[in-house]
Structure 1
Amino acid sequence: MAGNSDPLTPRAKLAVTAGKAVAAASRAAGRGSGSVIGGKVALRLDPDLLARLAQNLDVILVSATNGKTTTTRLIAEALRAAGPVVSNALGANMPAGITSALAGGSDAKFGVIEVDEKYLAGVARDTDPKCIALLNLSRDQLDRAAETRMLAENWREGLAGSKAVVIANCDDPLVVWAASSSPNVVWVAAGQMWKDDAWSCPSCGGVMQRPGDDWYCGECGFRRPTPSWALSGDHVLDPHGSAWPIHLQLPGRANKANAASSAAVAAVFGVPPQVALERMYQVQAVAGRYDVVQFQNRDLRLLLAKNPAGWLETFSLIDPPPAPVILSVNARGADGTDTSWLWDVDYTRLTGHPIFVLGDRKLDLAVRLEVAGQHFQVCENLDQAVQLCPPGRIEVIANYTAFQDLRRRVGN
């Protein structure tokens, strides 16, 4: 049920019940959470189910190339100060997974939903969100995802005239261009380390000028908007100029940026920055990311990096040399099968670290590291890599399915 004031139709109730039964059977068979298959069955029985489930919720959508799962968790924690929350916390972010998540939230006030970039326009159409957070766009899954400007265009067209308050990162030109079709945008200066997908103007194709932290197109005048909220060191600056300390257990600049955007979202629903930021401290790890686990009498910190922008942020998190680093890369369906993105990652940042390489595409990674002048050893599996590592905490960086493989091996 989506709420007592507007009960679901008999067909919708049947769809929810059938979806939950299929999900439970999938879990019992050891095939994961079952949320995706359950949602697919439910949507097959009632194609309008997602819209029905969303109709009594204040829906918040979160989309980006990097940081959506973490930001969704941070927003959900902040909004619990204002009422019960239902969320797809495990990252099943396409319509089937989203439907499954909402079906489990009968008493919720807020639906905080992570959405895959390619599905944002459709999910926004179905769920009538009150708020949409747009964090960044960069190259990812090159064999499947459209070129980044096409994704931005999809967002721009899909969100044109939306009634939602759009919380958007003003430091990413692609996000700004996508959000500019919306009548109600709140700009957040969340920063952007990776700039290699925004050298040409998304509006006219001209060359972007980037003096300092600013950016503008010298040809058409498209430029960085003035932010209402900003990340400033370890603080969030609100629209009144007050600085609020960021309290996080999650590491790194990127997570402070996620917290700044999350505070801006929470404020839309009346949760003050101080309350929102204090509640975000509860988040220790997100679907295994940032967890430190014991394995073979060693401490392994598990870090997820799926694309060049993500690897760049992750390199800024790791302990300084000579901390050992294990890198694992796969190229399965969920990762994207094209590994040419490895050549966009600056692996010279690992100079001085002992490096150990594994995963389905360890040889692709080895060639890339060789060209970057790095010293490394290719390993058959995690056990061998850990045994070869010198003493001390081990930083383990993996892309999507490689990360899932590692979690299974360490029992996380």
Structure 2
Amino acid sequence: MIKLLNITGKGATSLPGKLALKLKPGILFHLSRGVYCICVTGTNGKTTTCAMIEHGLKSNNIPCFINKSGANMLGGVTTAFIKNSNIFGKPKCRYAVLECDENSLPLITNCINAKIIVVTNIFRDQLDRYAEVNTTFEKIKQGILNSPNATVVLNADCPLTYSLKFDCKNEVKTFGVNGNGKNKVASDSPFCPCCGVKLKYKSIMYAQLGDFYCQNCKYKRVTPDLCATDVDGSSFVLENQSINLALGGIYNVYNFLSASSVLNLLHLNYLSLQSFGGSFGRTESFYCDNKKITVMLVKNPVGFSNCLHLAFGRYNNFDSVFALNDNDADGRDVSWIWDVDFTCVSSRKNYTVGKRAYDMALRLKYDGIAPTVIDGEKYQTVINLIKNGNRDFVIFASYTAMMNMRHMLIENFGGDEFWQ
């Protein structure tokens, strides 16, 4: 089945796992025995962090497997283990790097013996699926409670994420950044998770990430076990070494730190992560003649705002495409786009496309941007604009828009499918 789905261009991401779980509910428990499982969850950065960990393991000559397609629910994780098993159900690789959807983490950790659980951050995301951040927090907490022997890696700069430490007895390692961010990204969680009083900050990187403290209950940011200093774009100092990332954006500094924390726990060198070039749809590049097309996945206010700041701070002379859908995988509620600050948009031409192209156009209009609307999912129109134009493009796309458009970009300009 897996080979057939790949041949047809669909990719064997979740369906084989879902069918296997129906036929044998305990299959994941059996296939994961003897496998060192590293789980990565959180709102933003899961896919990139997992790909970085995979890159680091392989750079240290340690074979591993990963649910690379981003199928991060129980069915997708089960499919990854099926692909890693021989006909006798024995694992081909002994290390698994698993991207885990926040809501699915308790289901996944209930079936496997997680050795490391990484929590990148907790932001507001897809209100119709996750509700408010406290709901996400509770799901992640339950996933950790299912794994009392796992080492938990937490973002020390995120007040809500770090507070997980008080609800579990696991060994905890932390990562963070010393510095002041320049991006004015609104906070999703401005209140103390312990007592509810509004937090104070000595410095802020973006949103609620920073050197926080509570005047009421004295909850505060700890000194991280792995801490970046002297941050300048994607360059910084870590453990007295100068680091220069191939990926831009302060959020990728955090992704680097979370992946490096895992490699540290495994007593492996993390310097190879500097050369990591990105994962599918996350600041991924395609080329049409001498024109560069950059694809950025956007799915919540904090992530979208960070992508805008990165694109308009790092790239020059490009046209923009804003692709917005409201399928199940995107979230039916698109009201979150009103919490994104588009005032930094300075491209010559702007286009909106997708099922909610008009909603996106209306939002842009309120920040003084008058885009051309491509009605519906007419992604071929975008491909034609790229082919017939003479400028670079940056595409900001919600999940299903990104997946559909990415397939067309590969067909026209080359590249690997998402499962490869």
TM-score (norm 1): 0.86
Match of 1:334 in 2: 329
Contact 1:152 1:177 in 2 (8 A): no
TM-superposed CA distance for 1:136, in Å, is 0.8
Give the conservation status (yes or no) of the 8 Å contact 1:155–1:179.
no
CA distance in 1, matches of 2:142, 2:196: 18
- Residue of structure 2 equivalent to 1:145: 130
Give the Cα separation in 2 of the matches to 1:79 and 1:27: 26
What amino acid is aligned across from residue 236 of structure 2 in structure 1? H
Greater CA drift, 289-298 or 132-141: 289-298
Report whether the alignment pairs 1:387 with 2:380: no
Matched, 1:252 2:249: yes
Q: Does 1:300 align with 2:289?
A: no
What SS does the aligned partner of 2:65 have? strand
Match of 2:402 in 1: 403
In structure 2, the residue matched to 1:315 is 308
- Give the Cα separation in 2 of the matches to 1:87 and 1:99: 11
Q: Which deviates the most, 259-268 or 200-209? A: 200-209
Change (3 A) 1:326 1:347: same
Q: How far is 1:295 from its partner?
A: 4.1
Once superposed, what is the RMSD of the aligned Cα atoms? Answer: 2.4
1:323–1:24 Cα change, 3 Å: closer
Per-residue displacement from partner, 1:291-326 (whole Å, max 9, x unpaired)? 322348742111111111111111122145653211
Superposed, which structure 2 residues align to 1:121-200 within 5 Å? 121-160=106-145, 162-182=148-168, 183-190=170-177, 194=185, 196-200=187-191
Deviations, residues 155-187 of structure 1 (Å, cap 9, x unaligned): 224424721111111111111122432331111
Distance 1:98 1:55 in 2: 14
**60, 63, 82: which one aligns with 1:84:** 63
Q: Deviations over 1:65-117 (max 9, x none)?
A: 11101100101111221521111111111111111112222231211110001
Give the equivalent residue in structure 1 for 2:266: 269
Task: Give the secondary structure class of the aligned counterpart of 2:128.
Answer: coil
Q: What's the CA shift for 1:139? A: 1.4
Hey, what does 2:23 align to over in structure 1?
45
Q: Distance in 2 between matches of 1:260 and 1:320?
A: 24
Instruction: Determine the structure 2 residue equivalent to 1:118.
Output: 103
Secondary structure of the 1:69 match is helix
Between the aligned residues of both structures, percent identity stands at: 29
Larger displacement relative to structure 2 (94-103 or 212-221):
212-221
Cα pair distance change 1:123/1:280, threshold 3 Å:
farther
The answer to whether the aligner puts 1:72 opposite 2:70 as a matched pair is no
Gaps of 5+ in 2: 85-90, 204-209, 416-420
The answer (yes or no) to whether the contact 1:259–1:277 under 8 Å persists in 2 is no
The alignment partner of 2:110 has SS state of helix
Q: C-alpha displacement at 1:330, in angstroms? A: 0.8
> Quick one: distance in 2 between partners of 1:218 and 1:371?
37
Distance verdict in 2 for CA 1:179–1:289, change over 3 Å: same
**SS at 2:321's partner residue?**
strand
Tell me, in whole angstroms, the C-alpha distance in 1 between the residues paired with 2:333 and 2:22: 32
Counterpart Cα distance in 2 of 1:42 and 1:246: 44
Q: Which residue of 2 aligns with 1:216?
A: 213
- Partner Cα separation in structure 1 for residue 272 and residue 241 of structure 2: 10
Q: Deviations over 1:366-407 (max 9, x none)?
A: 111111112322234445456399733211111101111211
Instruction: Name the CA shift for 1:236/1:57 in 2 (closer, same or farther; >3 Å).
Output: farther
Matches of 1:391 and 1:231 in 2, distance apart? 39
Looking at structure 1, the residues matched to 22 and 381 of structure 2 have their Cα atoms a distance apart, in angstroms, of: 46
The SS at the match of 1:332 is coil
Q: Does 151-160 or 224-233 show the bigger shift?
A: 151-160
Code of the aligned partner of 2:55: E
**Distance change (3 Å), C-alpha of 1:322 and 1:279:** closer
Relative to structure 1, is the Cα distance of residues 337 and 231 closer, same or farther in structure 2, using a 3 angstrom cutoff?
Answer: same
Mapped partners of 2:274, 2:100: distance in 1: 20
Q: Kindly state the Cα deviation for residue 24 of structure 1 after the two structures are TM-superposed.
A: 3.1
Give the aligned partner of residue 15 of structure 1.
none
Going from structure 1 to structure 2, the CA distance change for 1:179 and 1:349 (only over 3 Å counts) comes to farther
Show the counterpart of 2:2: 23
Give the superposition deviation at 1:199.
0.9
Q: Which amino acid in structure 2 is aligned with residue 167 of structure 1?
A: V
SS state of the match for residue 127, structure 2? coil
The 3 A distance-change label for structure 1 pair 206 and 231 is: same
Task: Choose 251-260 or 326-335, whichever is displaced more.
Answer: 251-260
User: How far apart are the structure 1 equivalents of 2:201 and 2:302?
Assistant: 18
Partner of 1:235: 236
Which piece of structure 1 moves more, 127-136 or 161-170?
Answer: 161-170
Aligned length: 382
**Is the CA contact 1:292–1:299 (under 8 Å) kept in the aligned structure 2?**
yes
Aligned match for 1:204, one of 195, 207, 210 = 195
Match of 1:47, SS? coil
Partner of 1:3: none
Distance 1:321 1:25 in 2: 42
What's the counterpart of residue 368 of structure 1?
363
